[in-house]
Amino acid sequence: QVRLQESGPGLVKPSQTLSLTCTVSGGSIKSGGYYWNWIRQHPGKGLEWIGNIYYSGRTYYNPSLKSRVSISVDTSKNQFSLRLTSVTAADTAIYYCARGNFIVVEPAGIWFDSWGQGTLVTVSS
Amino acid sequence: QSMLTQPPSVSAAPGQKVTISCSGSRSNIGNNYVSWYQHLPGTAPKLLIYQNNQRPSGIPDRFSGSKSGTSATLGITGLQTGDEADYYCGTWDSRLSVGVFGGGTKLTVL
């Protein structure tokens, strides 16, 4: 059974870059045709999809974050990573990594069958 | 403001049935597959339903999903206190090329 674990700083200063890594265990990040996703949840709010990456490097990003976000993959370490630049307090959230099934041609779909436990990132000076 | 609209809360007694609605538009629910998640605060969300009405292995048949037009519904029968959680619908929006979630519905089992 695949497991995902987020890691990274829990506190980031405003205007700096948020960097998180998701380590995948119990399966290869290259197998199964999955896309690897980042999702966040602002305090007391719902879920927000940030973007995803295929092991080949193909990415899709939320248009509302596209100018600030970058997702990369390291297949040798079975990890993928998130970078979010120029953060503000509005980026304070619990960040989840998740394995996704992704169909981009209609009927399209994206669903997440394995999730990490989430990591709280606070943006504050 | 979420692109998908869910009721903020629903409640029912143990053993009863509850439904949670999720309303969208043609570019998301109307043309694409819907999924549903159960989320207990402090834990990882759990996939309950994918492709509108499919259950992953290990999810009991008390949980069901359906879709009609631009709306989807999650049904839960035989409610248990352990079902108290937040429930989210999700899908892909083809017009904006973005994954979208509903705002979430808090289920209370009275």
Could you read off the pLDDT of B89-104 as tens digits, one per residue? 999 999 999 999 999 9
Interface check A89 vs B, CB under 8 A: no
Query: Would you call B101 an interface residue with chain A, using a CB distance cutoff of 8 Å?
Result: yes
The residue of chain A with its CA nearest to that of B43 is A117
For residue B81, report the phi and psi dihedrals to the nearest 5 degrees.
Answer: -60, -30
Asked if residue A20 has pLDDT above 90, the reply is yes
Find out whether A41 and B76 touch, Cβ atoms under 8 Å.
no
Q: Which two tokens stand for residue B50?
A: 């994918």
Question: Do β-strands A3-7 and B98-101 pair in parallel, antiparallel, or remain unpaired?
Answer: unpaired
Banded model confidence at residue A46, pLDDT cuts 50, 70, 90: very high
- Mean pLDDT of all residues belonging to chain A: 96
Instruction: Supply the pLDDT for residue A106.
Output: 87
pLDDT at B2: 84
pLDDT average, residue stretch A67-91: 97
Q: Taking residues A100-119, report their average pLDDT.
A: 94
Q: What is the pLDDT of residue A121?
A: 98
Which amino acid, one-letter code, is at A104?
V
Residue type, A88: T
Instruction: Report in angstroms the alpha-carbon separations of B46 from A52, A57, A112, B23, B24.
Output: 18, 26, 8, 21, 22
Chain B residues closer than 8 Å to A116 by CB: 44
Q: What is the pLDDT at residue A66?
A: 92
Q: Answer whether residue B73 shows pLDDT above 80.
A: yes
Q: At A66, is the secondary structure helix, strand, or coil? A: coil
SS3 track for B56-67: CCCCCCCEEEEE
List the beta bridge partners of residue A115: A98
Give residues with Cβ within 8 angstroms of A37, minimum separation 6. Answer: A49, A50, A51, A52, A97, A98, A99, A100, A110, A112, B99
pLDDT for B42? 85
The stretch B54-82 carries a mean pLDDT of: 97
Using the Cβ of B104 and the Cβ atoms of chain A, whether some distance falls under 8 Å is answered with: yes
Rounded Cα–Cα distance for residues B109 and B101 (Å): 23
CB-based contact A118 B44, cutoff 8 Å? yes
3-state DSSP call for residue B29?
A: helix
The residue-averaged pLDDT of A2-17 equals 97
Cis peptide before A107 (omega within 30 of 0): yes
DSSP letter for A117, please.
-
- Judge contact between A69 and A53, C-beta under 8 A: no
pLDDT over 80 at B67, yes or no = yes
Indicate if the pLDDT at residue B1 is higher than 80.
Answer: no
Sign of the four-CA dihedral A104, B86, A18, A86: positive
Q: Whole-angstrom Cα distance, residue A19 to residue A12? A: 9
Q: Scanning the structure block, which residue is given the tokens 């290990």?
A: B58
pLDDT tens profile A82-106: 999 999 999 999 999 999 999 988 8
pLDDT of residue B41: 84
Got the DSSP string for B37-91?
Answer: EEE-TTS--EEEEBTTTBPPTT--TTEEEEEETTEEEEEE-S--GGG-EEEEEEE
Inter-chain CB proximity B92 and A103 less than 8 Å: yes
- Which residue in B46, B94, B97, B98 has the most chain A C-beta atoms within 10 A of its own C-beta, making it the best mutation to test that interface? B98
pLDDT digits (tens, 9 = 90+) for B10-53: 999 999 999 999 999 999 999 999 999 999 988 999 999 999 99
Contact A113/B at CB under 8 A? yes
Output the average pLDDT for chain B.
96
- pLDDT above 90 for A32: no
Mapping DSSP to helix (H, G, I), strand (E, B) and coil, where does residue B28 land?
helix
